[in-house]
Amino acid sequence: MFTSLSPTKAHYPILDGLRGVAAILVVIFHLFEAYFPVMANHPMHHGYLAVDFFFLLSGFVVGYAYDDRWNTMSVWQFFKIRLVRLHPFVIAGVLIGGISFWLDPFKMGRPDSTFFDLVIAVLLGFLLMPSRDIRGWGETHQLNGPCWSLLQEYIANIFYALFVRKFNKIALTILVILSAIALTITANWRGDVGTGWSYETFWIAFVRMMFPFFAGLLLFRTGKLIKMRFAFPISSLILAILFFLPTFKFNGFYEAASIIIAFPLIVAIGAGGAVSGAWAKICKFAGDISYPIYITHYPFIYIYTMWIATKKPSPAQIVPVAIGLFFFFILLAYALLKLYDEPVRKWLKRKYL
């Protein structure tokens, strides 16, 4: 989901920027969701599709960064590289989630939950494993909901390293087509794909991951990129429009089509484009904060959501709080990136890589 490109290769700065745009849209989506829990009323009706877009970006970049390295890299080395890249922020997100859960003045957790249950949830969260439902929301990852998608990212990386990296284009195309069929059937059956985070729908998380991740890998291997001017603003605008369009009668088909058709086109535009000057700086900053903001904002969303649910504040009271949280999330993400994640990853690389 969040993959750094190799520093020894040419870069795709627009893909970094698009990853940041999607992450920021996720934050906005969750801030709205606290007040508009019913998606039909939500201003950003399809904001959860950012996760599927992350998967597709990740598949593309994993192929770009690692496909040509298997003659000099073992599977275990690949896993270590990916863990060093992703896991420090998994730890940080779970710690923030555990502390915020314990201190949340508005929480309405399960009455039979204990401090021991919280400790177990933290320890399992460090391993990115599901834990007992102590919050009462039915999530697989109690302390930091978005971790469900990171677990799928890990599964995708395992599949890639053990099996799919060896697939030729025909075999990979067959896998992608079968995954697209499964995604379309599931989306039409449900009417949307906005799930996978709960125990009841855990299997849908796997369906949501399979097509976009390996379609991204296939897109990289085919090299079918689109070159156009203003690639970053155009692709960002298309992404935002897809998220904000209203729900439709055939909403499941729309969301499946967004993932299967529109997202690969957006990534092809981003990978085929170029940026410089101010746009390049925006892309870099957006890419830098994309993973940190995605994995650290949601513990505070729990508190914010329960504040709205229990205190029933007016929109005039909610708006300044939401705006303040938005900028707080950006500042926190950047601070943790510079003060925690980059030093920790530097140490881990020196010690283990």
Interval 66-102: pLDDT, tens:
999 999 999 999 999 999 999 999 999 999 999 999 9
- pLDDT mean across residues, the chain: 95
The C-alpha angle 49, 128, 112, rounded to 5 degrees, equals 100
Asked if pLDDT for residue 108 goes beyond 60, the answer is yes
Rounded CA separation 342/336 (Å): 8
The pLDDT value given to residue 6: 45
Smallest CA-to-CA distance from 240 within 16, 89, 43 is with 43
The secondary structure of 244-269 as a DSSP string is: HSPP-TTHHHHHHHIIIIIHHHHHHH
**What pTM, to 2 d.p., does this model score?**
0.95
Asked if pLDDT for residue 3 goes beyond 60, the answer is no
Smallest CA-to-CA distance from 59 within 215, 273, 222 is with 215
Interval 293-344: pLDDT, tens:
999 999 999 999 999 999 999 999 999 999 999 999 999 999 999 999 999 9
Smallest CA-to-CA distance from 262 within 228, 219, 302, 305 is with 219
CB 28 within 8 A of CB 293: no
Asked if pLDDT for residue 237 goes beyond 60, the answer is yes
Look up tokens 């981003």; give the residue. Answer: 270
Rounded CA separation 59/152 (Å): 12
Amino acid at position 100, single letter: S
Asked if pLDDT for residue 7 goes beyond 50, the answer is no
Interval 36-52: pLDDT, tens:
998 889 999 999 999 99
The secondary structure of 101-126 as a DSSP string is: HHH-TT----TT--HHHHHHHHHHHH
Smallest CA-to-CA distance from 217 within 40, 100, 63, 67 is with 63
The values of phi and psi at residue 198, to 5°, are -105, 165
Local structure of residue 105 (DSSP, 8 states): T
Rounded CA separation 111/285 (Å): 43
Helices vs. strands in the chain: H and E counts, helices first: 14, 0
The pLDDT value given to residue 109: 66
Smallest CA-to-CA distance from 253 within 187, 206, 209 is with 187
